[in-house]
Amino acid sequence: MKKINEIFYSLQGEGYHTGTPAVFVRFSGCNLTCDFCDMQHQEGVLMTDDQIVSEVKKHPASVVILTGGEPSLFVDEALVDQLHQAGLYLCMETNGTRPVPAAVDWITCSPKPGASLGIQRMDEVKVVYTGQDISVYEGLPASHFFLQPCSGLNTVETVEYILSHPKWRLSLQTHKLIDIP
């Protein structure tokens, strides 16, 4: 059984896959406590892998975003296999502190200040910028690097940082800008 906060269909609003229709599987629970987190970790229902796949298949998208909380606390090879058998492409958004099943198709690592990384593979790095030292993330083994303003409150500062460090690209929470889930 896995604790699910919600499963919903929308557009990916952040990072490399921005604008892609996707089914979001949001897990409840995290191994970190971030000041800017907007997740209610105590909320959620327990679901089996079969129930999760069944709920995901109610939607027309072939892309699934496994998010949270911290999905690596819950996602295992069995769930990944079932979702793949259903013909789905799996993206996981993780804080990178724990291993991720090898068969996940796309890994977005959103490292948090002070957290030790326990992940070996990542396709993109997406950092919520609060003015911290970003250079510590530049050597991570990813192909794409995104900097995201913290709740849109420091957009100018984030843009200025990117302009002086062109390895990074801007990621806005477009779902919040256009008022979709």
Judged by average pLDDT, the poorest of 34-38, 51-55, 94-98, 118-122 is: 34-38
Q: Which residue has the higher pLDDT, 175 or 92?
A: 92
Q: Is residue 36 predicted with pLDDT exceeding 70?
A: no
| pLDDT for 30 | 87
Strands 21-27 and 63-67, by their bridges, are parallel
Residue 59's pLDDT is: 98
Q: How far apart are CA 147 and CA 154, in angstroms?
A: 11
- Please state the rounded mean pLDDT for residues 107-128: 89
User: Is the pLDDT confidence value at 139 over 80?
Assistant: yes
Residue 34 has pLDDT above 90, yes or no: no
- Check whether 40 has a pLDDT greater than 70: no
Report which of residues 49 and 29 the model is more confident about: 49
- What does the pLDDT average to over 94-103? 95
CA 9-74-12 angle, 5° bins: 25
pLDDT of residue 147: 97
Query: What is the pTM assigned to this prediction?
Result: 0.92
Specify the pLDDT at position 38. Answer: 62
The pLDDT of residue 164: 97
pLDDT above 80 (res 178): no
At 25, the pLDDT band (50, 70, 90 cuts) reads very high
Overall average pLDDT of the 3-18 stretch: 96
Is residue 37 pLDDT above 70, yes or no? no
